[in-house]
Amino acid sequence: DIISAISAALADGPLQGKHILVTSGPTHEPIDPVRYIANRSSGAQGTAIARALAGLGAEVTFVTGPADVPPPDGVHVVRVQTAAEMLAAVQAAKPADAAIFAAAVADWRVANAGTSKIKKTATGLPQLAFAENPDILATISQMGAGRPALVVGFAAETDDVIAHASAKRLRKGCDWIVANDVSPATGIMGGSENAVTLITEAGAESWPRMTKDAVAAQLAQRIAQEIA
């Protein structure tokens, strides 16, 4: 809304003068002109983080897949569909002081995606070949010269959350991982609350369950402490 856009523009916060890149939402990977592979990310957490960072005075570039929630005001919005488009948008938005990769990017795409609708075959079943998508988090974490001072990844896990997420931090080369348990029983996927563990070089720090807005506010404060 107008109020938040104005407050963001006027914000004399700790992140003023900083450019922060935030990705959010799902990606959609086409199978053919009518079918695609998607994931259940609503974009709610990434949107809240972008809003919180703008509220602390940051200039935010918000690269978003087809999310359920509208993007926040007061940020520069770049809309994409696929992982490949998201990487291209991230590359184009650099340089940045920090990059927060909250999007749920598809790990793979359909390599033989068709320009015509797939017809049923004799067996009735499709033959889909998959190809690995670009790894946006690893690409930016390991880019060398011009790397953002702080790179934050997300890990949505359904089991063994801290072990999987700690391994992911080392494998990708990012600074922090925000990990959470998206098992259906938690109700977090698509819900308004989140229960995250922040994994840094210093270890794992589990935050209490709170609203996604509160998680965003706390994470934005930590980012400000780190780079401001």
Cα torsion at 200, 224, 98, 104 (round to 10°)? 60
Nearer to a copy of itself, 6 or 38 (CB): 38
CA distance 188 to 192: 7
Segment 95 to 154, residues that bind a copy of itself, using CB under 8 A: 104, 106-108, 115-117, 120, 124-126, 128, 130-132
Q: How many residues bind a copy of itself (CB under 8 A)?
A: 35
Count of Cβ atoms closer than 10 Å to residue 141 Cβ? 21
Nearer to a copy of itself, 27 or 47 (CB): 27
- The amino acid occupying position 170 is L
Nearer to a copy of itself, 107 or 205 (CB): 107
Smallest distance, a copy of itself to C-beta of residue 131, A: 7
Task: List 104's β-bridge partners, or say none.
Answer: 26
Residue window 11-40: x/- pattern of binding to a copy of itself, with contact defined by CB under 8 A:
-----------------x--xxxxxxxxxx
Q: Of 76, 55, 60, which Cα lies nearest the Cα of 18?
A: 60
* Residue positions annotated with a catalytic role: 39
Smallest distance, a copy of itself to C-beta of residue 202, A: 26
* Burial classification of residue 50, based on how many CB atoms lie within 10 Å of its CB (0-12 exposed, 13-18 middle, 19 or more buried): buried
Smallest distance, a copy of itself to C-beta of residue 125, A: 5
Residue window 65-104: x/- pattern of binding to a copy of itself, with contact defined by CB under 8 A:
---------------------------------------x
Nearer to a copy of itself, 182 or 198 (CB): 182
Pick one of 122, 159, 201, 208: the residue that binds a copy of itself (CB under 8 A). Answer: 159
Count of Cβ atoms closer than 10 Å to residue 171 Cβ? 12
Smallest distance, a copy of itself to C-beta of residue 51, A: 24
Smallest distance, a copy of itself to C-beta of residue 74, A: 26
Nearer to a copy of itself, 21 or 31 (CB): 31
Whole-number Cα distances in Å, 38 to 66, 145, 172: 10, 33, 23
- Specify the DSSP element, H or E, that contains 48: helix 44-55
> What is the spatial order of strands in the sheet that 98-101 belongs to?
76-79, 59-64, 19-24, 98-101, 150-157, 176-181, 196-200, 203-206
Binding site for a copy of itself (CB under 8 A): 28, 31-41, 104, 106-108, 115-117, 120, 124-126, 128, 130-132, 156-159, 182-184, 189
